[in-house]
Amino acid sequence: MSLRLGDIAPDFTAETTEGRIQFHSWLGESWGVLFSHPADYTPVCTTELGVTAKLSGEFKKRNVKVIAVSVDDLPSHQGWVKDINETQQCEVNFPIIADADKQVATLYDMIHPNASDKFTVRSVFVIGPDKKIKLTITYPASTGRNFDELLRVIDSLQLTANYSVATPANWKDGQDVVIAPAIKDEDIPQKFPKGHTRIKPYLRTTPQPNK
């Protein structure tokens, strides 16, 4: 059965471009992003890994460790990383799992046989410090991911993990948020001292509490 939000992210031990890792202990107290790539030496994946490397400061700022997986072996990954660094003007600074036996791809249901029985789709799993899956997104091989969207979602996940709020459509860090329906009107002033707007009884907004 496929993994669902709130499930514990399956643990595994695997060889990576940065040595052997045990996934849960490698994550430690951090948030994690595990994302799959259909194959090494493919154009879209090359750009995705380059963008991820260039965003390393943004992930670090959010206490997020990033790890990629592709169903190729370590020598293939090592050669490909050189190409990525050269063509994308970056330094790949996160591990890529060598998953030639498809251990991780299978655990995380990244192979969708009706799309391809050989390669993974572009799966993204965001994992919280409690090792639970907070977000999954699946793209087809032909569509490169939007990493600004990934950072935006992580901002929302981290905010909503700590405050009784939710983020509206197209929300970006710094914008007003909506107050969780479970919060009673009378409790709002104490919980949200920056003020609030009551547009409807079920639609109440407040400035982002941690800004």
By CB under 6 A, name the binding residues for ligand BEZ.
38-39, 42-45, 141-142
CA distance readout (Å), 153 to 29, 31, 159, 173: 19, 13, 10, 10
What is the closest distance, in whole angstroms, from the C-beta atom of residue 43 to ligand BEZ in the complex? Answer: 4
Decide if 90 is catalytic: no
What is the closest distance, in whole angstroms, from the C-beta atom of residue 39 to ligand BEZ in the complex? Answer: 6
Could you give the angle at the alpha carbon of 132 between the alpha carbons of 129 and 134, nearest 5°? 95
Relative to beta strand 133-139, strand 64-70 is unpaired
Nearer to ligand BEZ, 81 or 133 (CB): 81
Nearer to ligand BEZ, 39 or 188 (CB): 39
Pick the catalytic residue from 9, 33, 45, 92. Answer: 45
**Amino acid identity, residue 44?**
V
The Cα–Cα gap between 66 and 92 comes to 11
Residue carrying structure tokens 């496929």 = 2
The Cα–Cα gap between 140 and 154 comes to 21
What is the closest distance, in whole angstroms, from the C-beta atom of residue 9 to ligand BEZ in the complex? Answer: 24
Nearer to ligand BEZ, 42 or 164 (CB): 42
- Tokens of residue 40, six digits: 């090494």
Q: Which of 169, 180, 176 has the alpha carbon at shortest distance from 210?
A: 176
Nearer to ligand BEZ, 74 or 115 (CB): 115
| β-bridge partners, 67 | 34
What is the closest distance, in whole angstroms, from the C-beta atom of residue 70 to ligand BEZ in the complex? Answer: 10
Active site residues: 45
